[in-house]
Amino acid sequence: GSKIIKDFERWSSKVNFLEQVQTLARLLCRDGTYVALPNGNAETFSLIPLLMQNTTILPEDFTVGEMNPKEILTPPTGSIVINESDKAKRKILKISDVVCGSYNAWDTVQKDPLKRDTYGIYGASMMEPIELSIRNLLNINYGYVSFVKKYGNGRYLIDFKLLEKLVEQEIVSIEDAQNIIDAWLDEHKYLSENEDIAAVGLDVIPVDAKGSLDVMSFKKSLETDIQIGLLQSPLSMGDTKGSTYAAGYVSEEDRMVVLEGLQHIVRNIANSAINMRLRLMDKTEDSVWIEFEELSRPQLESRDVIEWYNSGVLTKEQLLKWGGFPVEGE
């Protein structure tokens, strides 16, 4: 048992399998669906993710290239097709020849890359609900930086006082005054950062950058939406919303439930890859598997662990293992 585990640890380090699992998790969250081709032999086995926009997952007995099916495509799935719309470059694979998985595939009807309706085949991207918030945040960041770069802490109200008096005294007509203003603004519209305005008869007044909209508050709300959407912040909707410790604890529990569900999907996909390597080694499937640490496990401090060791709750081996030190015999 320990021999095969050491072999897997050596192989994992050699092919950087940890990075491949991290890529799996990222793509699953981004696309909602993960499909990868196994590559190499037992020594060099690795996963090559497929580009989902060029990859279609088809039900059993479905005609490849059928663009207008009468019914929604549903499981069981039978094949993976790369470049289905291009007969010359099309490649058909059995579902058993790839590593794949999805997130929340049964939540809604999904369009496949060829715009066919599917249900239960493709997963839901975690990015879709927050895409607008991300775009708005990028727009605010770009716009606000450009704004401050040009105007400093605010826009300018330029009052042409001298010109106003000349118009009042009918020395200059309104039309000529407007032409003078337009010409002046055109000449000075590309102010450099922190460039001063020096002129006679002008009153330059900075205008509040916030105006009627608190930009920073809006920016913060968008960031919060994105953090919640990516499960980086506790869910705070419905009955869990509040400022009390209890409400915060409940919302954090909700987040952990979702995260651990996602972790379970990633683990299952990764273990299907492990089983593929076991088959290449002529070993029994599920004889080796990956376990992820429980996300909701409390983060212990060293003084607590040492106290448990001193009181006999933990053994020396458990203490060494917790600290990341080698344990004799393992």
Residue-by-residue pLDDT tens, the chain, 330 positions: 678 989 999 999 999 999 999 999 999 988 999 999 999 999 999 999 999 999 999 999 999 999 999 999 999 999 999 999 999 999 999 999 999 999 989 988 999 999 999 999 999 888 887 777 777 777 777 666 665 555 554 556 677 777 777 778 888 888 888 888 788 777 766 665 555 565 666 666 665 555 545 666 767 776 776 666 666 555 554 444 444 444 444 455 666 667 777 888 999 999 999 999 999 999 999 999 998 877 666 667 788 888 888 998 888 888 888 887 888 766
Give the pLDDT confidence of 231-249 residue by residue, as tens digits.
Answer: 655 555 444 444 444 444 4
- Shared domain check, 69 and 160: no
- Shared domain check, 168 and 95: no
Within-domain flag for 304:
yes
Within-domain flag for 278:
no
Q: How many separate domains does the chain show?
A: 3
- Shared domain check, 22 and 107: yes
User: For 221, what's the count of Cα atoms within 13 Å in the CB-facing half-sphere?
Assistant: 8
Confirm if 296 and 260 have CB atoms less than 8 A apart: yes
Give the pLDDT confidence of 73-117 residue by residue, as tens digits.
Answer: 999 999 999 999 999 999 999 999 999 999 989 988 999 999 999
User: For 53, what's the count of Cα atoms within 13 Å in the CB-facing half-sphere?
Assistant: 1
- Shared domain check, 186 and 96: no
- Shared domain check, 106 and 26: yes
Within-domain flag for 255:
no
Within-domain flag for 70:
yes
- Shared domain check, 167 and 111: no
Domain edge (last residue) among 105, 125, 145: 125
- Shared domain check, 107 and 159: no
Write out the residue range of the structural domain in which residue 309 sits.
298-330
Within-domain flag for 111:
yes
- Shared domain check, 71 and 14: yes
d(CA 91, CA 89): 6
DSSP 300: -
- Shared domain check, 35 and 117: yes
- Shared domain check, 178 and 73: no
Within-domain flag for 281:
no
Confirm if 108 and 145 have CB atoms less than 8 A apart: no
Within-domain flag for 86:
yes
Within-domain flag for 81:
yes
- Shared domain check, 192 and 112: no
